[in-house]
Amino acid sequence: MSCVGISYLLKYEKVGCLRTEGEIIFILLITGMLVLIQGISGTAWGEDQKEIAAQEQQVLNWRKERDVFFKSHQRSPLFPQDKKAFKGLRYYPFNPKYVFSGQIERFIFHINNPQYYATFLTNKGTNKRYLRYGRFHFSLDGRKHAVEIYKSILSDALFIPFKEGTNEKETYEGGRYIDAEILSDYKMVLDFNMAYNPSCAYNEKFVCVLPPRENMLDVEIRAGEKTFKSVVHQDLKSQGNPAVNRKPGAALLSPIPNPASQMILSATQS
């Protein structure tokens, strides 16, 4: 039996197959049920120096674009005082150790299944809804990990909110986000060097989703964006303002009753 495109199969909800790493995996698509393609751990970036150099350049270009946006764009989340003093966001150096590529373990829900959507709690106590897309497995320092992946209703970009061991120490305590692209054959690249802070890390008027429990990693991810040092918060603290003496983003440490997520929200509280 030949392997038919999975997108074609989903349309008709019949028996299909997916070819991966030389094997054909048959998938039975049953209305209302979750179907999992067996997860294969993503592989760490290879030793191909050209490949590593190209990925590093992509990361550096992305960081430069973010600096320009934060410094000059009218929708920058920075306070005016922070914009004036802004000299660039703080990052860990690029490290290919934190780049993984591999197969996405797809979640297939019928649209009428309540688990089709993920409802995320935000730092403001409101909810944001996203699609449950799948799970990505990877190995770091000899240990296996996995993150759940979500997708915007209005976009094909993948969204991974997560927390890990550097939060509160070197990175934003509310967790960080990663965006990713769906590649051919439902593969993706998970690059922690491109992890970024939610908008509320710079300005608490912004609404940001909380990372779900499934994405709270028991490991330190020393890659991506570090904690932002706000001039505004430092000035207020020096004046003894009780509103800023609590830890930044403390609301993000609330219990998470339901897994959920969103892309980085630029919406502000009205």
CA distance 169 to 226: 9
147-172 pLDDT, tens digit per residue, is: 999 998 888 899 999 999 999 999 99
- Structure tokens, 162: 């997560």
pLDDT, position 151? 95
Instruction: Identify the residue whose tokens are 């802070």.
Output: 197
CA distance 34 to 20: 20
CA distance 39 to 259: 20
DSSP type of residue 54: H
Which residues of the chain fall below pLDDT 70?
1-41, 45-47, 233-270
pLDDT, position 153? 85
pLDDT, position 8? 31
pLDDT, position 263? 32
167-195 pLDDT, tens digit per residue, is: 999 999 999 999 999 999 999 999 999 99
pLDDT, position 44? 74
Using DSSP's 3-state secondary structure scheme, residue 229 falls into coil
Question: Is-above-0.75 flag for pTM?
Answer: no
pLDDT, position 234? 55
pLDDT, position 17? 40
pLDDT, position 186? 94
Which pairs from 81-88 meet CB under 8 Å and 24+ separation?
81/231, 81/232, 81/235, 82/202, 82/230, 82/231, 82/232, 85/231
Domain boundaries, the chain: 1-30, 32-253
pLDDT, position 154? 86
